């Protein structure tokens, strides 16, 4: 049964679990509802794993940070995406600009590249957005758009931030751009329907 559950059926996913190429045998899943989030990470080869449960809408923002520390403490041979969660922690401790400065340092040092760099900014932006800092989130997502103008995902994220900030026209423009880059982006389709509904 385990082998069947972990048999890849699409990129990065098996039957009920997500998997990572960088960690052979690693599989996991997350879940959330208003007010709490949870994450399961296991490894079929080592038999080791961890469950994180948080009474917070931002629990997953630090999940990779926790996993890194546990993996290091118990000498697990896991790779969890470098310094991305650290940006969230820096933003909360020292502000958004400090996090962006650290992002720039990591990127110039070659520690954040391509999808990982885009993902780092996106993760930082959503952490800010979900903690009520819409203006800072918009600033971060705008930088992601400037750095990765061909990514549908960055426009989708910026559209969501504008929508939460009440900037309807800017939200529509960014969701439309996301849909232009990725016509299969169903989230953009649904959000545009909501934004265009008469009040």
> Which residue ranges form the domains of the chain, and what is each CATH number?
2-58+67-73 (no CATH), 84-196 (1.25.40.10)
Whole-number Å distance between alpha carbons of 42 and 47: 7
pLDDT in tens, the chain (199 residues): 566 666 665 554 555 677 766 667 777 887 777 778 788 888 777 788 889 888 876 666 667 667 777 777 777 776 655 444 678 888 888 999 999 999 999 888 887 777 778 888 988 998 899 888 999 999 999 999 999 999 999 999 999 999 999 999 999 999 999 999 999 999 899 999 999 988 7
Give, to the nearest 10 degrees, the angle between helix 114-130 and helix 96-108: 170
DSSP 16: S
User: 93 near 58, Cβ under 8 Å?
Assistant: no
């Amino acid at each position: 049964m385990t082998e069947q559950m972990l048999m890849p059926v699409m990129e990065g996913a098996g039957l009920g679990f997500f998997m990572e190429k960088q960690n052979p045998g690693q599989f996991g899943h997350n879940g959330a509802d208003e007010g709490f989030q949870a994450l399961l990470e296991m490894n079929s080869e080592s038999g080791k794993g961890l469950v994180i449960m948080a009474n917070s809408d931002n629990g997953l923002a630090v999940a990779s940070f926790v996993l890194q520390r546990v993996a290091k403490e118990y000498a697990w041979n896991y790779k969890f995406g470098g310094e991305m969660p650290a940006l969230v922690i820096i933003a909360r401790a020292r502000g958004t600009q400090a996090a962006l400065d650290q992002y720039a340092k990591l990127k110039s040092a070659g520690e954040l590249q391509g999808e990982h760099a885009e993902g780092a900014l996106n993760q930082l932006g959503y952490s800010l957005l979900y903690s009520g800092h819409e203006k800072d989130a918009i600033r971060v997502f705008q930088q992601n758009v400037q750095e990765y103008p061909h990514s549908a995902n960055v426009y989708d994220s910026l559209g969501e931030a504008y929508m939460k900030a009440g900037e309807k026209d800017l939200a529509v423009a960014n969701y439309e751009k996301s849909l232009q880059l990725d016509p299969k982006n169903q989230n953009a389709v649904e959000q545009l329907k909501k934004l265009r509904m008469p009040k």
